[in-house]
Structure 1
Amino acid sequence: MAQSVPDFFKGKNVFITGGTGFVGKSLVEKLLRSCPEVNSIYLLLRQKKGLSTEERLRELCTNKLFDLLRQQNPEFCKKLRLVAGDITMDGLGLSDKDREELSEKCHIVFHSAACVRFDQKLKDALIMNTTGTLRVLTLAETMKNLEVFVHVSTAYCRCDLPQLCERLYPAVHSPRRLLQLLEWMDDDTFAYLEPKLIASEPNTYSYTKAVTEDLVDEFSSKFPIAIARPSIVTAAWKEPIPGWVDNLNGPTGLLIGSGKGVIRTMHCEPSYTADAVAVDVVANACILIAYVTAQDKPKETQFYNLTLSKVIKISWDQIIKLGEKWVNEYPYSMVLWYPGGTIKSYWVSHQLCLLLTHLLPAYLVDSLLFLLGKKTFMVNLQKRISHGLGILQYYTTKEWHFRNENYRSLQQRVSKEDNETFYTDMSTLDPDEYLKYYVLGTREFVCKESPDTLPRARRLHRIRFFADRIVKFLFLLLVFWFLYSYRDVFSSSVGMLDSALKSLPPLTSVRAEDS
């Protein structure tokens, strides 16, 4: 009988980069909870925001994501081993002791650390996503007991292609040559070349992910490698907390921004698929990918597109309508205005609404704040929002098809029990219920609003509803008054235009003269 997934991880030592990130946290929690006999999980951590590596590890262990695990195993933190280092430093900044221990004891590597900012400077993105990956691969090469290396990439690594299969697509530029450029080229020259280098991709994130896949593939003859390509990663579906999310990236920021009345227009093709995969499904898939790849010991890199193609169809229109429904049911406490707005298929109409519903109100609010001697902020806020929407609209106005046979086949490679524990099939997902918990998750984990604040938030929401309707009514009244007051001017203008048009020679006579 085939070895179960928990049995495979029994007694194993796992090295994880990006363990404090969105996917990384979920992966760590799932391994500890569902593979309780894993020996140790080594986490690469650096100092950040004034916190030491030890403080960051303690912060991770006290995260609400681990509450269920904490109930089952209060001593789970003892399995987490701190490895002080930095992916942007030579040799990962590891001490000789940590390097030796990893080389001697590590069996499995999950590399999920990455810069996920779409507008990051190319040089910085390459240092983090490409050079950093090379450093992890170089370390993995020294691991005497390494069974599998799983690299977390993205399904949007080749946005220039309408269809992405589960195979390697050679990068437009050689990763080795790009890394050579990093060594000697100054920042200004690199910034000048950036638009030309990433011309095939919408941003530096997808460009560096594509380049990095080429680099990872170079090591496929040295140890078993698999590349997981999730699409947009969103809130948890089932475990350990439905709706858990800890960042403002992608749809989460859109959901919160619209729910707080800040975002009122979006350039989007409503019928296109919103290809988003829940973070707990991504974590489960990564674990199964490691299990399967270690069993198969392939000599070539294995690719898995973690996407919704042929699994479930959810459109952007459906997501936005359900989001609006549940935001009104579970409103946020700190809100600028009553939620509203629509999605626009046409760029021109979106820009017009952006001007009327985002920028003009922002200038009005800032003008009032300035007159009151208060600090202005709305214009800068709306400019940042407009910038973010501009980045996101690339993905909401295009549609890709992802081949994901390898991903879907994971279910056939494990037992029924393992399938239930490490679920990867999202075909049974109920979008309505998922969006409900998604909204609740953004309230609690991103906006830090406890469930106790909900009754008051609902009362304020009703007040904002009536205020919104009154303001809209007064605005329409003002428009009608303006049109009525200046009806004579409009009438004479129309008459003058009509006379001018009638005075023009017929089009047929003009053509006759030309001939």
Structure 2
Amino acid sequence: MAPSVAGYYANKSIFITGATGFLGKVLVEKLLRCCPELEAIYLLMRAKKGQSSEQRLEGFLKSSVFNRLHGENPQCFKQLRLVPGDILADGLGISDDLRETLRKECQIVFHCAACVRFDMPIKDATALNIRGTQRVLDLTEGMTQLEVFVHVSTAYCRSELPELEERVYTTAHKPQDVMRCIQWMDDELLAHLQPKLIHPRPNTYAYTKSLAESLVAQYEGKFPIVIARPSIVAAALKEPLPGWVDSLHGPTGLLVAAGKGAVRTILTKEALTCDIIPVDFVVNGCILAAYNTGINKPKEIQVVNLTVSRRNPVTVGELIDMGRVHVQEFPFSQCLWYPGGSQKTSRLHHQVALLLTHLLPAYLLDLMLALLGQKTFMVKMQQRISAGLQTFQYYWLNEWHFHNDNFLALRGQVSKEDDDTFYTDIKMVNWNSYIRDYIFGARTYCCKEDPATLPQARILQKRLYYLDWAAKIIFYSLCAYFLVHYITIFLSVI
């Protein structure tokens, strides 16, 4: 008889990369809370911005993601073990003593570290996503008690395909060849070759993640492997807190920018289904996939697409409409303008809206700041926003079907109690209440705005609403005036 999930993880040691990321934090919290008999969790953590690895661990434990554990079971943090190192360093920058400890004691590896910027240069994306994965695999191969290696990828690794099956796809380029090329090519040559190299993938993120999967596949048969492919990872549904999110990457950045009035137009198709999945479902899926693979020890690589896949569909238009409603309830304290705007289906309409609602106001505000002797910032900010909109536009104008039978089957491998604890049934998501919690979470945990500031924020939003209408009335009145004026001149000439 198979043990419970917590029973399987009991007395085991786990090595995690990317623990300080959005997904990594939730994974660590869930393991500590729901698998209390774990032996140890080893966290690879590098020094950053003048902070040592030890100082970063202290800051890591102060994250709001661990608030519940600090109140209920503060002793659990003794299970955490710091591994000073760097995914970009040879041998991961791990000392010989710690490397030997990891090889002797670890049974499970979660490789979550990755570059999540879509527009990162090919050299940097390769260093993080491919060469970093190679270094983790080199360490993993020497682990004498290894039971399962979990590689966190993305459902958009082959985004040129309208359907993605739960299998590893062959790639046109070998990862080792790409790594060798990147080593000797200079930045200018790489920038010239990048579009051709990554084609037909839309960006370096998708390209390097697909090559990382190909690299992992070369270790098939050496140890049990599972590749977890989440789609668009967003705020938590329930755990550790409803709406919890601490990263502005992906949809959260767009939500905050739109909520602050900085984004007023996006080019998309309202009827497109959006495959967005809460981070707690992704974490539960990874934990269950590791459990299932560790129990059954298959020789072949297991691939699990952690996706909604139309089981509880929601469209882009519905998400935008729900966001427009709930940002009235939880407005941001600092806004550039009233959070209005809309989605556009016409590229020309979108470009005109960008000019009128993004660029022209930015130039006018910077002109006023310059005249007052203040530092200008709006044009640069709007240029960054426009570049971000252009980068994500590919995903707002296309739709994919992700096969996820392996993901759905995970529920059948565990007891009812474990299914409740490590929930993965996407049908339990009520999208309206989820978006409500998402906006509150982005405001509270990402923007660090205290809920006590909500009354004042609502007053500000009401003022911005009237100001927005006044600006529209003035603009359309001027347009009407000049239209009538020039028509009159034209008729008089005729």
Q: Does TM-score exceed 0.5, indicating one fold?
A: yes
Within-5 A mapping of 1:417-436: 417-436=417-436
Contact 1:265-1:354 within 8 A present in 2 as well: yes
Which amino acid in structure 1 is aligned with residue 89 of structure 2?
Answer: M
Q: CA deviation at 1:412?
A: 0.6
The aligned amino acid for 1:278 is P
1:226–1:303 Cα contact (<8 Å) kept: yes
SS of 1:157 mapped into structure 2: coil
Q: How does 1:164-243 map to 2 (within 5 A)?
A: 164-243=164-243
Question: Distance between the aligned counterparts of 1:92 and 1:490, measured in 2?
Answer: 74
For 1:334, give the aligned amino acid. Q
Q: For residue 404 of structure 1, what is the amino acid of its counterpart?
A: N
For residue 472 of structure 1, what is the aligned residue in structure 2? 472
Corresponding residue of 1:502:
none
The answer to whether the aligner puts 1:485 opposite 2:477 as a matched pair is: no
1:348 is matched with 348
| Distance in 2 between residues matched to 1:316 and 1:164, nearest whole Å | 20
Equivalent in the alignment of 1:507: none
Match of 1:130 in 2: 130
- Give distance in 2, aligned partners of 1:118 and 1:401: 21
Whole-Å separation in 1 of the counterparts to 2:201 and 2:490: 49
| Corresponding position of 1:284 | 284
Query: For residue 267 of structure 1, what is the aligned residue in structure 2?
Result: 267
| Partner residue in 1 for 2:326 | 326
> Is 1:27 the counterpart of 2:54 in the alignment?
no
Distance 1:96 1:423 in 2: 39
**Where in structure 2 are the equivalents of 1:70-469 lying within 5 Å?**
70-469=70-469
Mapped contact 1:276–1:307 kept (Cα < 8 A)? yes
Does structure 1 retain, via aligned residues, the 8 Å contact 2:2–2:295? no
CA distance in 1, matches of 2:440, 2:488: 54
Shift of 1:69: 1.4
Query: What does the per-residue CA deviation read over 1:236-288, in whole Å, with 9 as the maximum and x for residues that have no partner?
Result: 00111000111111211111111111100001111111111101111110000
DSSP-derived class of the 2:146 partner: coil
Partner residue, 1:503: none
Contact 1:103–1:139 (8 Å) recurs in 2: yes
CA offsets per residue over residues 339-389 of structure 1, 9 Å max, x none? 111101121211111111100111111111111111111000000000000
RMSD of the alignment, in Å? 1.1
- 1:32-71 superposed matches below 5 A: 32-71=32-71
Contact 1:307 1:404 in 2 (8 A): yes
Aligned equivalents of 1:428, 1:111: Cα separation in 2: 28
Could you tell me how far apart the structure 1 residues matched to 2:296 and 2:176 are? 29
Q: What is the alpha-carbon distance in structure 2 between the residues aligned to residue 92 and residue 491 of structure 1? A: 77
Q: How far did 1:187 drift? A: 2.6
One-letter amino acid of the structure 1 residue matched with residue 245 of structure 2 = V
- Report the alpha carbon displacement of residue 48 of structure 1 after superposing the two structures with TM: 1.0
SS of residue matched to 1:107: strand
Distance 2:372 2:57 in 1: 45
Contact 1:202 1:394 in 2 (8 A): yes
TM-score scaled to structure 1, two decimals? 0.94
In structure 1, stretches of 5+ residues that fail to align are: 496-515
Question: Which residue type is aligned with residue 112 of structure 1?
Answer: C
TM-superposed CA distance for 1:176, in Å, is 1.4
Superposed displacement of residue 448, structure 1 = 0.6
Q: Which amino acid aligns with 1:403?
A: H
Moved over 6 A (4+): none
Task: Name the SS for the 2:426 alignment partner.
Answer: coil
* 1:148/1:293 contact within 8 Å kept: yes
Q: Aligned equivalents of 1:391 and 1:178: distance in 2?
A: 23
Deviation (angstroms), 1:398? 0.3
CA distance in 2, matches of 1:359, 1:27: 41
- Alpha-carbon distance, 1:191 to partner: 2.3
Q: Distance in 2 between matches of 1:159 and 1:483?
A: 46
In structure 2, distance between residues paired with 1:476 and 1:290: 59
Give the AA of the match of 2:48: K
Give how far 1:479 is off: 2.0
Please give the alpha-carbon distance, in whole angstroms, between the structure 2 residues aligned to 1:287 and 1:197: 35
Q: For the residues of structure 2 that align with 1:20 and 1:27, how far apart are their CA atoms?
A: 10
> How far did 1:486 drift?
3.0
Rg (Cα) greater in structure: 1
Distance in structure 2 (CA, Å) of the matches to 1:208 and 1:67: 35
SS of match in other structure, 2:380: helix
Q: CA deviation at 1:492?
A: 5.2
Aligned residues: 494
Task: Return the offset for 1:184.
Answer: 2.6
> Which digits, 9 at most, give the CA deviation of each residue in 1:34-87, with x for residues without a partner?
001111000000011221101111111111110111122112221110000001
Does the 8 Å contact 1:311/1:425 carry over to 2?
A: no
Quote the sequence identity (%): 53
> Structure 2: 5+ residue runs without aligned partners?
none
Equivalent residue of 2:304, what SS?
A: strand
- Of 224-233 and 167-176, deviating more is 167-176
Report the AA paired with residue 263 of structure 1.
Answer: V
Letter paired with 1:202: P
CA distance in 2: counterparts of 1:160 and 1:471, whole angstroms = 42
